Amino acid sequence: MADRCINTCVLQPELYGHPEFLPGLSWFSYQEVGTGRRDQFLSHHAAAPVTTVAKKRHRSIFGSLLCCFRANSSHTPAAPGQPEENGSAKVPQKYLLPPVRHQDMHKKCIVIDLDETLVHSSFKPVTNADFIVPVEIDGTVHQVYVLKRPYVDEFLQKMGEMFECVLFTASLAKYADPVADLLDKWGVFRARLFRDSCVFHRGNYVKDLSRLGRDLCKVIIVDNSPASYIFHPDNAVPVASWFDDMSDTELLDLIPFLEGLAKVDDVYSVLRPQNHHVS
C-alpha cells in the first residue's frame, strides 16, 4: 500500500454502449493501488453508439439519478471553504455534519463514496443483483439493480469500529438513501450526504471536506473519482472503480492500510507523501 497513487482517467469502453449510461458516464477514474493487480488497464477508446430517442431519455434519467463525474478539470480548484458553485464563490453557511457523538470523540472521520466504490447500480436487469430498489422519477417507478462490491460487508463493519463513518455520494437521495438502508445493516454511517451537499465546480460534483465541521487532519475520503476530492487531494485514499468483477479484493486490501491511518495523529503525514508520489 506504500506506493498508492492516482493514475490518469481512462475511458471504460465496455460501459460506453450500455443504455443505462450517458456518454459522460463512460469517463471513470482509475486508480492503481500499486499491488500489481491492475497494471494492465484499458487505454483504447470506443465509438459512440447509435441511439434512439427512447434510449437517450433512459440514459438521461439514470444520469440524473446517479453521480456522473468527468475528468475534465485541469484547472486549479477554488480554495477550500470558498469553492466555486455554478460559477460563483460561495462561503458555506453551516457545517454539513452534526456535532461529533460522544462515542466517536477520539475517532477520525472517514468519508466513503457509494457508486463504483461500494456498489454498482444499473437500470439494466441483472440476475445476480443484491438489491432491487424502486425509484420514482417523473411519476414512473424504475427498478434499479444494485450489485455489492466483494467484501463490502466486512469493510463497513471494520470501518464502523475504527472511524466516525459518513456516506457521501453525488447521487440523488431518492436512490442512494434506500440503497444505504439495505447496504448498512449495522448502522455504521453516522450521517448520509447526497448530491445537494456537493459543490458543483467546473462540471464536477465535488465533496468539499472543509464543510463537514471536522478537523481536516483527521478526515479521510475513500472514493473512486479524483474529481470528487479535488479540493482536498491530500485527504484521499483512492480506490479503483468497480462494476462487476466478483474476484475484486480492493476493499479487503484497504482494511490494513486504514487500520494504520486510524492510529496516526495526522492523516496528512501518511497521505500527503503517498498522493504526491510519482511512480
Range of the domain at 131: 75-275
- Asked, for residue 16, whether it belongs to a domain, the answer is no
Cα separation, 79 vs 92, whole angstroms:
12
Burial of 171 (0-12, 13-18, 19+ CB in 10 A): buried
Question: What pLDDT does 274 receive?
Answer: 85
pLDDT at 3 over 60: no
pLDDT at 170 over 90: yes
Given the residues 3, 104, 113, 248, the one annotated as active site: 113
Of residues 253, 217, 223, 31, the one with CA closest to residue 109? 217
**Residue with the larger pLDDT of the pair 43 and 91:** 91
- Asked, for residue 99, whether it belongs to a domain, the answer is yes
Cα separation, 191 vs 195, whole angstroms:
14
Q: What is the pTM of this model?
A: 0.72
pLDDT at 279 over 50: no
**How many domains are there within the chain?**
1
Question: What pLDDT does 62 receive?
Answer: 53
> What average pLDDT score do residues 57-62 get?
53
- Asked, for residue 194, whether it belongs to a domain, the answer is yes
DSSP 115: B
- Asked, for residue 54, whether it belongs to a domain, the answer is no
- Asked, for residue 9, whether it belongs to a domain, the answer is no
* Secondary structure E strands in 29-139: 84-85, 88-89, 109-112, 119-122, 131-137
CB 92 within 8 A of CB 211: yes
Task: Specify the range with the lowest mean pLDDT, choosing from 36-40, 63-67, 169-173, 215-219.
Answer: 36-40
Given the residues 115, 184, 208, 223, the one annotated as active site: 115
131: CATH: 3.40.50.1000
Q: Which residues pair with 220 in a beta bridge?
A: 110
- Residue carrying C-alpha cell 463490502: 152
Task: Specify the range with the lowest mean pLDDT, choosing from 71-80, 122-131, 253-262.
Answer: 71-80
pLDDT at 257 over 80: yes
**Residue with the larger pLDDT of the pair 91 and 273:** 273
Question: What pLDDT does 57 receive?
Answer: 52
> What average pLDDT score do residues 123-148 get?
95
* Secondary structure E strands in the chain: 10-11, 27-28, 84-85, 88-89, 109-112, 119-122, 131-137, 140-148, 164-168, 189-193, 199-201, 204-206, 219-223, 236-238
* Coil/strand/helix, residue 211: helix
Question: What pLDDT does 32 receive?
Answer: 32
**Residue with the larger pLDDT of the pair 269 and 47:** 269
- Asked, for residue 130, whether it belongs to a domain, the answer is yes
Q: Which residues pair with 189 in a beta bridge?
A: 165
- Asked, for residue 107, whether it belongs to a domain, the answer is yes
| Other beta carbons less than 10 A from residue 7's beta carbon | 15
- Asked, for residue 1, whether it belongs to a domain, the answer is no
Question: What pLDDT does 66 receive?
Answer: 66
- The reply to whether 138 belongs to the active site is no
Residues in Cβ contact with 174 at an 8 Å cutoff, skipping those fewer than 6 apart: 65, 135, 136, 137
pLDDT at 12 over 80: no
pLDDT tier at 276 (50, 70, 90 boundaries)?
confident
pLDDT tier at 71 (50, 70, 90 boundaries)?
very low
> What average pLDDT score do residues 165-170 get?
99
Average pLDDT along the chain: 77
Percent of the chain with pLDDT over 90: 63
- The reply to whether 113 belongs to the active site is yes
Pairing type for strands 140-148 and 131-137 reads antiparallel
